Amino acid sequence: MLLETKGLTRIYGGLRAVDTVDYTLAKGEIHALIGPNGAGKSTFVGMVSGRIPASEGEVWFDGENVTALPAHARIQRGMAYTFQITAIYARLSLFDNVALALGQRDKAKVRAALDRVGLANRMEQIAGDLAYGHQRLLEIAMGVAQTPRLLILDEPTQGLAESEIEEFNTLIRELAGDTTILLIEHNMSVVMALADEITVLETGKILARGTPAEIHANADVQNAYLGTG
């Protein structure tokens, strides 16, 4: 297992936003985390990445208990994270954005990361001038530049056009060989197209886990989340 959580819990006041979650993610898998708004998805990956401290429970990464480690130490060990809200440096060039994520101005490495998302020919452009879909791809390039073992993507297709979503799906499939991917995603066609396995969260707890076909057929999930369609 690359990632494991044991009894992972986050309490806000009286609310158990993430409630005793036992979770495993195997190396090389594309895993989607779905669930209604407020189910605890962002809080869960925040605790995995170290941005949100756990109230209870443990996070294990590649056989090591990382629960007490700050986010930067988890990044050093091979985690990368892109945010729900675009987190690029709008006034800097694409090159500078990726170089900052990389921690060095290595032109070949920056080019390689931008190449993965099809933006290598725009290296000198100012990031804020890019179309929104390209900004999201830049963000993924910033994650990829760190050659992470685990890439966590929080709603990466939000705001993308249909054609851009196709490009995104292709990109994620290409990355998946080397990188394990944990994807929070509301777009069910993306989830169904990409995920090897899906975990459904509801009110902080795991409601179901299975292949896309199993989740699609699961009556509890349909009631809680997918509707009757």
Ligand X SMILES: Nc1ncnc2c1ncn2[C@@H]1O[C@H](COP(=O)(O)OP(=O)(O)OP(=O)(O)O)[C@@H](O)[C@H]1O
Residues of this chain that interact with ligand X (CB under 6 A) are 12, 15, 17, 35, 37-43
Q: Report, in Å, the least distance between residue 184 CB and ligand X.
A: 7
Helix axes 132-144, 107-116, angle to 10 degrees: 130
The answer to whether residues 80 and 148 touch, using CB atoms and an 8 Å cutoff, is yes
Number of C-beta neighbours around residue 224 at 10 A: 18
**Cα torsion through 92, 80, 78, 126, rounded to 10:** -20
Q: Report, in Å, the least distance between residue 125 CB and ligand X.
A: 30
5/97 with CB nearer ligand X: 5
- Distance from CA of residue 30 to its chain's centroid? 10
42/146 with CB nearer ligand X: 42
12/132 with CB nearer ligand X: 12
17/66 with CB nearer ligand X: 17
- For 225, residues 6+ apart whose C-beta sits below 8 A from its C-beta are 34, 35, 36, 200, 202, 207
Name the residue with tokens 């921690």.
103
41/149 with CB nearer ligand X: 41
Q: Report, in Å, the least distance between residue 122 CB and ligand X.
A: 30
DSSP conformation letters of 5-74: EEEEEEEETTEEEEEEEEEEE-TT-EEEEE-STTSSHHHHHHHHHTSS--SEEEEEETTEE-TTS-HHHH
101/215 with CB nearer ligand X: 215
Q: Report, in Å, the least distance between residue 204 CB and ligand X.
A: 7
Q: Report, in Å, the least distance between residue 95 CB and ligand X.
A: 31
Q: Report, in Å, the least distance between residue 182 CB and ligand X.
A: 13
